[in-house]
Homo-oligomer: A and B are copies of this chain.
Amino acid sequence: MTKESKIPNPTIERLAFYSRPLEALLKGGPPVISSEKLAGLCGVNPAQVRKDLAYFGEFGVRGVGYEIRDLLKEIKGILATDREWTLCIVGMGNLGISLVENENFKKRGYLFVAAFDSDTRKIGRQLPCGLTIEPERKIRELVRELGIEIGVITTPSRAAQRVTEILSDAGVKAILNFAPIQVRTPESCIVENVDFSVKLENLVYHLERLYKGKKNG
């Protein structure tokens, strides 16, 4: 019985997480995996794995486990990664280049179909991946023409909010923002922020507690 009425957000993140080792396991070894094994690979509790999956259906067989191939297909269906998504990226500095050149995205169905920058020296340059850097003012036109659904922002912070507005205005439905500020979007556009420094700050907080021999932190 599927009961998608009240799914914890962490569950969604973990589903993506589970799919990583599953993909690797597909390439060899037994065709079935237990919640215990999978949990071990992902560093979570086995009951957690079972509960997460049970929100969406009964994918396992009691006494046996989960058929890896099937499970992966189910997870991809749930996450909607069983189709291709068209993305554009704005801000072709070091990070922007690094993202569009990364093979993993294409492999997972995330297709960068346009790249924008405001720097006239960069506009027109062709990238190894085949994309040509377009001027910022063509965002609206190309988002519509190419049916771009997701925008990735890799500009400096000061430009991020303006770019967000241009993108959402052009019809992009979701934004992944790498600039270390909290951008605001209209209702019609969802946003995720990625901030590496927050992760680092987390690490050093815990490190410092360790050094000081504190129990918590």
The interface-forming segment of A64-72, A118-126, A138-146, A201-209 is A201-209
Size of A's binding interface in residues, CB under 8 A: 62
Task: Please state if A13 and B192 are interface contacts (CB–CB under 8 Å).
Answer: no
A204-B20 CB under 8 A given contacts A13-B198, A214-B4, A216-B5? no
The 10 closest A-B pairs by CB, nearest first: A80-B208, A94-B98, A16-B201, A16-B198, A174-B203, A98-B98, A192-B199, A80-B204, A95-B98, A79-B201
For the complex formed, measure the closest distance between the CB of A40 and the CB atoms of chain B, giving whole angstroms: 10
Task: Please state if A7 and B80 are interface contacts (CB–CB under 8 Å).
Answer: no
For the complex formed, measure the closest distance between the CB of A135 and the CB atoms of chain B, giving whole angstroms: 23
Q: Give residues 133-182 of A contacting B (CB, 8 Å).
A: 149-150, 173-174, 176, 180-182
CA distance A200 to B184 in the complex (A): 18
CA distance A98 to B96 in the complex (A): 9
Task: Please state if A203 and B190 are interface contacts (CB–CB under 8 Å).
Answer: yes
Task: Please state if B94 and A205 are interface contacts (CB–CB under 8 Å).
Answer: no
Interface readout for A38-53 with B: 1 if CB under 8 Å, 0 if not? Answer: 0001110000000000
Residues of B within 8 A of A93 (CB): 98
Residues of B within 8 A of A79 (CB): 201, 204-205
Residues of B within 8 A of A41 (CB): 182
- Cβ-defined partner of A217 (8 Å) among B4, B43, B81: B4
Task: Please state if B173 and A190 are interface contacts (CB–CB under 8 Å).
Answer: no
Closest to A201 in B: B16
Closest to A3 in B: B216
Specify which of A80, A95, A216 lies most central, judged by the most chain B CB atoms within 10 Å of its CB: A80
